[in-house]
């Protein structure tokens, strides 16, 4: 009989994804499952007593490691976390690590996007280069850590388009595409995204450390 978390009589290793962002959980599940990892992937929501970590780092990598270590310590299980954001050239890389709370309230995607569009309203197409960046970290309860990074380059539209994805997806048009990230299917986005690249780079690391 196959029970959840048990395959062929062997207990599968459990890997926790340190995020409460439903959009990210869906993407990470797909990316790690596509890589053929025989692990049970669980979102941080499965551990409601573990408090949220303050993202006090000043880089994506620092924040990803903070989140992964906190969850690994609290649960005694290997944990994966990412920190990501949108970096706009003409704003010297902002919103960057402040992307999730650019308009003041953490996770208010629509307000964040509208504020950014208003700030860039006078900027013409030739100066609207931006990229999504993602750092993906793996931490083990014994303190072992690894972090890798990925990017997706593009330009910012003047008006949102598309309903897929989350965050700033409706305004970033990836390089080489005529549509925004929010007009791509999840599979198309994962194939080229900052998070897809970072998590695919993390797969061999997970294999090395978790076997
Ligand atoms: P967790 O900390 O719980 O993982 P979060 O939404 O706070 O969730 P981040 O700290 O990594 O995640 O903030 C990332 C923000 O950057 C996110 O809220 C979006 O506004 C933006 N962002 C990151 N990746 C994105 C993507 O693939 N598409 C659109 N926006 C993205």
Ligand 1 binding pocket includes 85 (Cβ within 6 Å): yes
Average pLDDT of the chain?
90
pLDDT at 35 over 70: yes
Strands 79-88 and 13-17: parallel
Of the pLDDT bands very low, low, confident and very high (cuts 50, 70, 90), residue 6 is very low
More confident residue, 34 or 161: 161
For residue 8, the model assigns a pLDDT of: 41
Contact yes or no for 93/87 (Cβ under 8 A):
yes
Pocket test for ligand 1, best of 43, 166, 194 (most atoms within 8 A of CB): 166
Which range has the top average pLDDT, 8-17, 30-39, 42-51? 42-51
pLDDT at 83 over 90: yes
For residue 3, the model assigns a pLDDT of: 31
Indicate the pTM of the whole model.
0.90
Query: How many whole angstroms from 142 Cα to the centroid of ligand 1?
Result: 27
Selection from 80, 51, 84, 91 nearest residue 151 by Cα: 84
Residue 108 annotated among the catalytic residues of the structure: no
Ligand 1 binding pocket includes 112 (Cβ within 6 Å): yes
Q: Taking residues 65-83, what's their average pLDDT?
A: 94
Q: Taking residues 125-147, what's their average pLDDT?
A: 97
Cα dihedral across residues 114, 192, 144, 43: positive or negative: positive
Question: How far apart, in whole angstroms, are the C-alpha atoms of residue 207 and residue 195?
Answer: 18
Domain residue spans of the chain: 6-210
pLDDT at 121 over 60: yes
Give the chain's end-to-end CA distance (angstroms, integer). Answer: 24
The pLDDT tens digits for 163-177 are 999 999 999 999 999
Query: How many whole angstroms from 135 Cα to the centroid of ligand 1?
Result: 11
* Domain 6-210 in CATH 3.90.950.10: yes
SS3 148: strand
pLDDT at 180 over 70: yes
Pocket test for ligand 1, best of 43, 46, 168 (most atoms within 8 A of CB): 168
- Number of continuous H segments (helices) and E segments (strands) in the chain: 5, 8
């Amino acid at each position: 009989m196959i029970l959840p978390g048990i395959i062929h009589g062997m207990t599968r290793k459990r890997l926790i994804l340190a995020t409460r962002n439903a959009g990210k959980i869906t993407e990470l599940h797909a990316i790690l499952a596509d890589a053929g990892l025989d692990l049970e992937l669980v979102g941080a929501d499965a551990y409601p007593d573990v408090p949220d970590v303050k993202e006090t780092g000043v880089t994506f990598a620092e924040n990803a490691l903070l989140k992964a270590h906190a969850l690994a310590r609290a649960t005694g299980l290997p944990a994966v976390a990412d920190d990501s954001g949108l970096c706009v050239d003409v704003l010297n890389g902002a919103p960057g690590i402040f992307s999730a709370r650019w308009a003041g309230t953490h996770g208010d995607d629509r307000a964040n996007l509208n504020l950014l569009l208003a700030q860039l309203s006078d900027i013409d197409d030739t100066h609207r280069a931006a990229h999504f960046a993602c750092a993906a970290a793996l931490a083990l309860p014994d303190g072992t850590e690894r972090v890798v990074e990925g990017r997706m380059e593009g330009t910012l539209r003047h008006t949102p388009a598309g309903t897929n994805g989350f965050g700033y997806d409706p305004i970033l048009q990836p390089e080489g595409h005529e549509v925004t990230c929010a007009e791509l299917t999840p599979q198309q986005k994962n194939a080229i995204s900052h998070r897809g690249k970072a998590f695919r780079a993390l797969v061999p690391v997970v294999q090395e450390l978790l076997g």
